[in-house]
Amino acid sequence: MTTAFTAEELQLWTVLEIRDELRKRKLPVGGNKAVLISRLVNNLPVDVLLKPDSTEEACRQRLMKNGTQESQNPVSNGNGHTSHENKISLSEIRKQEREARANIVLHRQPITTLWYSLCELAIIAQKEKENMLKHRKTCSSIFLITLLVALSYVLEGPHQEFFSPLVKQILWCSWWVWLGILSSVGFGTGLHTFLIYLGPHIAKVTLAAWECQSLNFPEPPYPDDIKCPYDGSKSVVNMFTIMSKVRLEAFMWGAGTAIGELPPYFMARAAALSGTMPDNEDMEELEEILHSEKNDIFTRLKKSVPKMVERVGFFGILACASIPNPLFDLAGITCGSCLIPFWTFFGATLIGKAIIKMHIQQTFVILCFSKEYVETVLQLLGNIPYVGSYITSPFRMAVNAQKDKLHNKTTTGEAGGDNIISWIFEKVVMLMILYFLLSIVNSLAQSYAKRLDEQNHEKMDEDKEE
């Protein structure tokens, strides 16, 4: 005999617990939490309950449910103006708090931002310490394996003939995966590692391939440095052979960007399984977009991302991931909220970013730095009235210096042009990395400010209950 539950009791259950109970009763387990509760309470037949399981409608209801509930439950923000603030919905108060937190940045509130970021770092460090203590065996195993690999790499022996190249290849791949993760995660803004690292690497290989008329660069120094083959051997050089030369680095970087898209997905999925809306600014932004009545191009593009994912599924995710798309986080949140299977989301993201998108980006870079196009660009720069010769001169000297390096030649007369271009590029890279680090500090400070806001909300709720 099955036990009867009320809807109020089932609201305290997680989605997984409700589905387990449904399986025991041999009832379907698809749909959002509201559908599952209704199915369990009413014990309705299968053919009646399959209709609400439309992916698009179920996802949209889940994404918009929180905004509807918040608008019906006015709260106070604790600043002493209760009579006025009781009329403001929780979503509006949170929007005001987000706007206030956006001002906690180094160039506006340096002392507060630094202090808040240090406090947030301390909290993160404490949490990581607790996690490590909870998983002592796993951490100890990882440490011992790492130590053994390091010792095997350092100690001399016959194993080095096989082990050393393998470790070098693993480290090389790991480096590009890490750069890809940095590009798509970042603490609020990603480090543009394609512009700083992968793009220049592809450009160097392209220039060297056309100059050397070969892709058989000697190892070592490749990939740390590029030299023309010492024996003067030639090989076929075209766009496809250059792509094959840099395909490993490009794929690993693309795979890293796909891994970096997982946090929003897991956050939204965990919230959907628990039956609550995630307390996350990206999720709140998505809710505002779905409720927004604006009709500008940027808002319509934002609205189109979750719609495409909901309606098309795997191929919608693949389409969003295959093009340069700064709004892809919204797709990850939508997939998590709609409980789209992990391998469906990650598989489409991996194929789109690591294969399709990377081949598009490779093609663009290779075309831009092919021999004919470089000469064409230099001629166009030289045709600019008055300043053309001044602009072209350092670039042409840098190109010639790079060609000489490929043939192990040094030219003192043209070293200055190469140094100027290198100096400018180094400063641009330093500025981009500095901006990335500053964004991390700002994001940490804003996260701590959000903790304080949530603590104030909890304190006010406790005062109300008393």
Structural domain span for residue 14: 7-53
- Per residue, what are the HEC states of 231-248? CCCCCCCCHHHHHHHHHH
Average pLDDT over residues 187-197: 69
pLDDT at 83: 39
Residue 159 in any domain: the answer is no
Other CB atoms within 10 A of residue 465 CB: 6
pLDDT at 430: 84
Residue 431 in any domain: the answer is yes
pLDDT at 355: 92
pLDDT at 249: 92
Average pLDDT over residues 402-411: 65
**Reported pTM:** 0.68
| Long-range Cβ contacts of 67-75 (<8 Å, 24+ apart) | 67/91, 67/287, 67/288, 67/290, 67/291, 75/457, 75/460
CA 316, 322, 327, 330: dihedral to nearest 10 degrees? 40
- Of all helices (H) and strands (E), which one includes residue 284? helix 281-291
Residue 274 in any domain: the answer is no
Q: Bigger pLDDT: 375 or 245?
A: 245
Q: pLDDT averaged over the chain?
A: 75
Number of domains, the chain: 2
pLDDT in tens, 238-283: 889 999 999 999 999 999 999 988 888 888 787 777 655 555 555 6
The residue with tokens 């010492």 is 230
Residue 403 in any domain: the answer is yes
Residue 444 in any domain: the answer is yes
The residue with tokens 């889940």 is 62
Exposure b/e, 28-38, CB count within 10 A at least 16 = b: bebbbbbbbbb
Confidence check: pLDDT of 337 > 90? no
Task: From 37, 53, 69, give the residue that closes a domain.
Answer: 53
How far lies 45's CA from each of 7, 19, 41, 42, in Å? Answer: 18, 16, 12, 9
Residue 279 in any domain: the answer is no
Say if residues 381 and 391 touch (Cβ distance below 8 Å).
yes
Exposure b/e, 416-445, CB count within 10 A at least 16 = b: ebbeebeeeeeeeeeeeeeebeebbbbbbb
In residues, how long is the chain?
466
| Measured distance CA(387)–CA(394) in Å, rounded | 12
Residue 336 in any domain: the answer is no
Confidence check: pLDDT of 81 > 70? no
Of the candidates 459, 452, 465, which has an alpha carbon nearest to the alpha carbon of residue 78?
A: 459
Confidence check: pLDDT of 186 > 80? no
The phi and psi torsions of 80 (rounded to 5 degrees) equal 95, -5
| Measured distance CA(222)–CA(153) in Å, rounded | 20
pLDDT in tens, 95-138: 777 788 888 888 888 899 999 999 999 998 998 888 888 888 89
pLDDT at 440: 85
359: helix, strand or coil: helix
Residue 429 in any domain: the answer is yes
pLDDT at 72: 44
